[in-house]
Structure 1
Amino acid sequence: MNQKGENIAAFTVFLLIVVNAVGLGIPVWYNKEHMHSVNTTIEKPNCIVHVNIREGLWQRYCLESRVENCELDVQEWCDNLDFPVYNDFVIATEICGDLILLFVFGTIIRSKCRKKSFHLEMVGAEAGLGGVLMIVGVLVYAAADSEIGYQATDLHVGWGLCLSAGGTAVLLCIYCMCKHVKAIPTMPAGYFPIDDEDDELMLMDI
C-alpha cells in the first residue's frame, strides 16, 4: 500500500473509533411511544401510562404524554425499570471493537513513523474482527426481548452509529485483503518452480 493509501486507512480507522465511541456514549438507542399498564392499587388496577421512552445502554429518559386512572411519577416509574441484562454484553463487544481498531490505528502510525511497511493482511483481519464485534453487539441489542416491548423500527441514532462503524470496518477489511492479494507477485506465464537446491525455473513448452 502506498503512502496515500496508508493515510486513508489510518484516517478511516480513527474515524471509525470516534463514530463508535460517540454511538456508545449517546444515550438514545431506542425511541418509543409506549403505553404501559401499572397495577398500583386494588381500587385502581388499570393505571395506564402513555409515555415516550428514550433509552440507551446506560441511560433512560421518559417524556410523559398522559396518565390514566391514577397519579404516578412517570420519570420515577421509568427509572425503576430494569435495564436489559444483555446491555453489559453489548457494551463489552462495542468497547472491544474500539480497542482492536485503536490497536490497528497504532500499528499504522508506528509503521509510518519508522518508515516501514506493515502487514496489510494482518491489519485488514484485525479491522474486520473489530467490525464484527461491533455488529454482533448492535444485532444482539436489536434482537433481544425487552420489558418495554421494543420493535426494530424504534432503533435510534446511537444504535445506527455503532452499526455504521462496524459495517465500515468490515468493508475496510475487504479492501485491505483485496489490496494484499493484488500486491502478491505473480509467476511469469510458462514457468514453474523445480524442487531442487537452486530453485531454478524451467521454461515450459507451450
Structure 2
Amino acid sequence: MTKGPDEQKQVVLQVGAVLKKLRKEKNWSLEDLSELSGVSKLTLGNIERGETNPTIGMLWKISKTLSIPLMSLFSNKENTVNLSRAGKGLRITGNEKSWAIEPIFQNSTNETEMYRAYLQPNSSYYPEKHHQNTTEIATVMTGTLSIQVNNESYKLNQFDSISFGADGEHSYTNDSNELVVLHIILKYGV
C-alpha cells in the first residue's frame, strides 16, 4: 500500500483493527484464520497489530476466507460524499510491484467494489481467484493488454471492456512498453 508515511500507517492500523474485529466476530483464533486462509499465524498477528504492510495477495486470501469483499478490510463509513482522485489515495501493490490497484471508494457496498488498476510495461499479473460468484468487469483506460480467462485469451484496446466470472483462473498481460491503466469493477454474487 502506498500513501504518505503517516497516512499509510493509519491505513495499516485500520486494516489490522478491522481484521481483528471480523476474526473475533467469527470466534476464530489467529490459528483458525491461518489454517483456513493459508496466511501464516505470525503474519496475521503482525497485520492485526499494524506491524506489517500486507500485499494484495494476502488481503485477497484473508477476505475470501472471511467471505467479505476486499474493501471491507478498509471500511471507514463516516462520509456521505466521497471524492476519489487518481494517485491520491490508497494504493495496494502486488508482490512483484508490476500490478497496483487504487480503490476508488473504500466505503463501497458489500456487493460492488471499484478500482483503478495499473499494470507496468512488459509484465503480467496473476490474481488470486476471487470469491465464488464474483463478476469482474475491466475497462482499458490507456494502453492495450491481453486478459486470459479460463485458458482463453482476449486482447483489449483502449476503452474496450470485458466481463467474466472472477472466481476462476484469470490473468492480465501487458506486452507493450507503456503503462496500462484499467477501471475494474468487482460485483459479488449472493
> Is the shorter-chain TM-score for this pair beyond 0.5, marking a shared fold?
no
Q: TM-score, normalised by structure 2?
A: 0.29
Q: TM-score, normalised by structure 1?
A: 0.27
Structure with greater contact order relative to length (CA < 8 Å, sep ≥ 6): 1
Structure in which a larger fraction of residues adopt helix = 1
